[in-house]
């Protein structure tokens, strides 16, 4: 935007605010020029940061280009803003857990989650055996691996193919385009997921997981291998922010009544051990994945996502955390923000 035009726009906003005109503060904060400025500022601030390292316990993730860095924000009125690399795809990994949870609630209600694996933070790593042992498979949540594999096992379907179709169709509707598996990621994780199989067997032993634990782990491994870019993730977040209807495609994906509980679990456990720190800085329900993606939801306002593979010690993308924090705070995205009368 030309400097004069921008200045005039800012004057307009200031006058509108001062005069108490019909331009609400939320609308002003989500003005297109403000959003573009926030994205540009964060992107250039963090573009050259080299901290952290790709996940390597799934061997193929270590080979993903560490320089990928992109950000997309989608407003609940369906406007899409992007900067950086928004075409490179990474595996969705743990971010998938949110959308499997959404489908389970759609099919079986919110109580099925609180009854089956719980909605509490574990205080342990996302693949902790101790977290299962301490409460015999209860008092955890669907964002950690044992809860997530149990949630996957709860998706209804006559056979494995039918369950998988429900999962990938749900993710695709959230993203607004047909998503698919990265077969190399699936193969790499399937060859090395002995720990997840152990978690699933233990959940089965405690009667939390019904059906075949190894088959549930395999479907969970497929869901983690789904390939996404920042636009896909931001659309998925924006669908939650918009009450379950994709704001770009207009398709209703899940019932609006179920969104509160999904966001509550994301806020409690979306960034694992660092969920409290994240909430303290942003107030946003969010979810990270070891592929380097993070998405976050500003209810009724926007969904935002960033991808950058290098992770911190807790397993969360460093650049994605910083960029989303800055952008959301610049745009008034924190739902806990109280605006004095």
Whichever of 35 and 200 has its CB closer to ligand DON, that residue is: 200
Q: Name the minimum Å distance from CB 315 to ligand DON.
A: 4
CA angle 324, 38, 74 (to 5 degrees): 65
Instruction: Give the footprint of ligand DON on residues 175-194 (CB under 6 A).
Output: 189
- Cβ-Cβ contacts under 8 Å for 187 (sequence gap 6 or more): 60
Instruction: Give the footprint of ligand DON on residues 43-82 (CB under 6 A).
Output: none
Residue 286 contacts residue 271 (beta carbons within 8 Å): yes
Selected from 289, 303, 309, 310, the binder of ligand DON by CB under 6 A is 289
Nearest to residue 180, comparing CAs of 227, 129, 123, 235?
A: 227
What percent helix, strand, coil does the chain show, rounded to 5?
A: 50, 10, 40
Q: CA-to-CA distance for 290 and 288, rounded, in angstroms? A: 7
Selected from 82, 86, 94, 152, the binder of ligand DON by CB under 6 A is 94
Report how far apart, in Å, the C-alpha atoms of 161 and of each of 154, 211, 216 are: 14, 15, 12
Stretch that binds ligand DON, among 16-24, 81-89, 157-165, 286-294 (CB under 6 A): 286-294
Selected from 82, 88, 150, 196, the binder of ligand DON by CB under 6 A is 196
Nearest to residue 52, comparing CAs of 308, 323, 227, 280?
A: 308
Q: Name the minimum Å distance from CB 117 to ligand DON.
A: 15
Selected from 54, 100, 122, 127, the binder of ligand DON by CB under 6 A is 127
Q: Name the minimum Å distance from CB 66 to ligand DON.
A: 16
Tokens read off for 284: 């946003």
315 scored as a contact of ligand DON (CB under 6 A): yes
219 scored as a contact of ligand DON (CB under 6 A): no
Whichever of 198 and 330 has its CB closer to ligand DON, that residue is: 198
> What b/e sequence results for 262-278 when a residue is b if at least 16 CB atoms lie within 10 Å of its CB, and e otherwise?
bbebbbbbbbbbbbeeb
Whichever of 83 and 305 has its CB closer to ligand DON, that residue is: 305
Q: What is the contact surface with ligand DON in residues (CB under 6 A)?
A: 93-94, 126-127, 145, 189, 196, 224, 288-290, 315
């Amino acid at each position: 935007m030309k400097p004069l035009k921008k200045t005039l726009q800012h004057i307009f906003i200031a006058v509108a605010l001062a005069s108490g005109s019909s331009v609400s503060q939320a609308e002003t904060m989500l003005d297109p020029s403000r959003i573009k400025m926030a994205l540009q500022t964060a992107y250039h601030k963090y573009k050259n940061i080299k901290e952290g390292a790709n996940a390597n316990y799934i061997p193929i993730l270590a080979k993903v280009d560490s320089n990928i860095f992109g950000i997309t924000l989608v407003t609940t009125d369906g406007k899409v803003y992007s900067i950086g690399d928004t075409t490179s795809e990474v595996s969705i990994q743990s971010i998938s857990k949110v959308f499997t949870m959404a489908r389970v609630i759609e099919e079986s209600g919110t109580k099925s989650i609180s009854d089956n694996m719980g909605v509490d933070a574990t205080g342990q790593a996302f693949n902790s055996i101790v977290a299962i042992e301490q409460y015999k498979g209860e008092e955890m949540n669907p964002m950690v691996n044992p809860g997530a594999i149990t949630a996957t096992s709860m998706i209804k379907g006559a056979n494995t193919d039918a369950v998988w179709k429900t999962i990938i169709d749900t993710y695709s509707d959230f993203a607004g385009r047909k998503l698919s598996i990265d077969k190399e990621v699936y193969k790499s994780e399937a060859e090395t997921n002995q720990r997840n199989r152990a978690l699933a067997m233990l959940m089965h032993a405690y009667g939390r997981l019904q059906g075949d634990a190894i088959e549930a782990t395999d479907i969970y491994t497929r869901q983690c291998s789904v390939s996404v870019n920042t636009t896909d993730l931001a659309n998925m977040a924006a669908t939650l922010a918009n009450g379950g209807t994709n704001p770009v495609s207009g398709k209703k994906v899940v019932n609006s009544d179920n969104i509160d509980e999904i966001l509550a679990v994301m806020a409690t456990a979306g960034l694992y051990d660092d969920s409290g720190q994240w909430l303290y800085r942003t107030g946003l329900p969010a979810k990270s994945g070891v592929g380097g993606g993070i998405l976050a939801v500003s209810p009724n306002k926007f969904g935002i996502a960033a991808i950058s593979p290098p992770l911190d010690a807790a397993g969360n993308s460093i650049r994605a955390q910083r960029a989303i924090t800055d952008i959301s705070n610049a745009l008034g995205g924190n739902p806990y923000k109280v605006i004095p009368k």
